[in-house]
Amino acid sequence: MQGIHQPKREEVLKLPRVHISSHPVMEHKMTALRDKTTQPPDFYRLVKEIGALLAYEATASLTLQECDIETPLKPMRGRRLAGGIGITPILRAGLGLAEGFREVISDAQIWHLGLRRDERTLQAQEYYNQLPHQVNLQVCYAVDPMLATGGSAIDAVNILKRRGIDRISYVGIIAAPYGLLKLSQTHPDIDIYVAALDEELNELGYIVPGLGDAGDRQFGTL
Ligand code: PRP
Ligand code: URA
């Protein structure tokens, strides 16, 4: 990232359709997640718990449709989510986040997408794709803990759009201002939810202060 201009936090805070969590429980869990002494089993559990909190925030604007039900006491009008929900975990670090999402929306479809960032060029490469051809969703959430240069997130949204998904949200744990700006400018039609906005990318493309490598810390491949 040397020689590349990185925007400051303040410059991206007011981007449209960007939502940064401000919940105290989220901050508490984020502190434990970032701590370098947190070991993989606790790290994975925290990613799932943060995923569930983010799911709660990101689903607040979903559309409902009316339906008739009967309680044990009388008939009534209820409201159910209109249309299916898709979750696309960007492998492999998105897996824990997707699990947390599923605890909030248990009947969501899971569409796995494998993207690996080349650590030298920082370009994302697709290596796995389980997106169905029949698409009938209200919204699809692309979930991945780290929004660093934005390359993986931008590619994931491109792939979902090519499958005909017209309502997409990106959900991540930590964003760097650089990646957040790139994703928001490239895909101004999506909502972006993150738990925290950090300071910058270092020369290796890691988010600082960040949490290190989210995939390695979840799966113990340090
Ligand atoms: C990490 C992370 C994102 C990507 C972010 O994945 O989970 O997918 O890097 O970086 P970017 O914004 O610069 O594209 P990685 O490619 O290391 O794969 P992994 O999930 O298998 O660890
Ligand atoms: N991927 C990670 O896992 N961590 C970072 O800081 C950047 C990309």
Interface confidence, given as ipTM, is 0.98
The minimum-distance atom of ligand 1 relative to the CA of 215 is: 22
What lies within 8 Å, CB to CB, of 10 at 6+ separation is none
First to last CA, the chain: 23
Q: Is the pLDDT at 134 greater than 80, yes or no?
A: no
Which of 1, 4, 127, 146, when mutated, tests ligand 1's pocket best, judged by the most ligand atoms within 8 Å of its CB?
146
Q: Active-site residues: which are they?
A: 117, 121, 213, 216
Percentage of the chain with pLDDT > 70?
100
The answer to whether 46 touches 214, Cβ cutoff 8 Å, is no
Which of 174, 206, 211, when mutated, tests ligand 2's pocket best, judged by the most ligand atoms within 8 Å of its CB?
206
The overall average pLDDT reported for the chain is 96
9-61+81-217 is a CATH 3.40.50.2020 domain: yes
Hey, whose CA ends up nearest to atom 18 of ligand 1?
A: 116
Q: What burial letters (b/e) apply to 155-180, b meaning 16+ CB within 10 Å?
A: bbbebbeebebebbbbbbbbbbbbbb
For 157-206, the pLDDT digits (tens) are: 999 999 999 899 999 999 999 999 999 999 999 999 999 999 999 999 99
pLDDT of residue 1: 76
Give me the mean pLDDT over the 140-147 stretch: 98
- From CA 194, how far away is CA 51, in angstroms rounded? 10
pTM for the structure as a whole: 0.96
Give me the mean pLDDT over the 4-12 stretch: 95
Q: What is the helix (H) or strand (E) element at residue 35, kind and residue range?
A: none
> 116 CA distance to ligand 1 centroid (A)?
6
The finding on whether 48 has its CB within 6 A of some atom of ligand 1 is no
C-alpha distances in Å from residue 165, one per residue of 85, 90, 125: 11, 16, 21
Q: Where are the domains of the chain?
A: 9-61+81-217
What SS3 state is found at 65? Answer: strand
The minimum-distance atom of ligand 1 relative to the CA of 214 is: 7
pLDDT of residue 122: 86
Give me the mean pLDDT over the 77-93 stretch: 96
How many Cβ atoms are within 10 Å of 201's Cβ, its own excluded? 21
For 113-131, the pLDDT digits (tens) are: 999 988 889 888 999 998 9
Find the ligand nearest to 127 CA. 1
Question: Measuring from each residue's beta carbon to the nearest atom of ligand 2, which residues come in under 6 Å?
Answer: 93, 146, 148, 206-207, 210, 213-215
- Name beta bridge partners: 207: 201
pLDDT of residue 119: 85
Q: Is the pLDDT at 20 greater than 80, yes or no?
A: yes
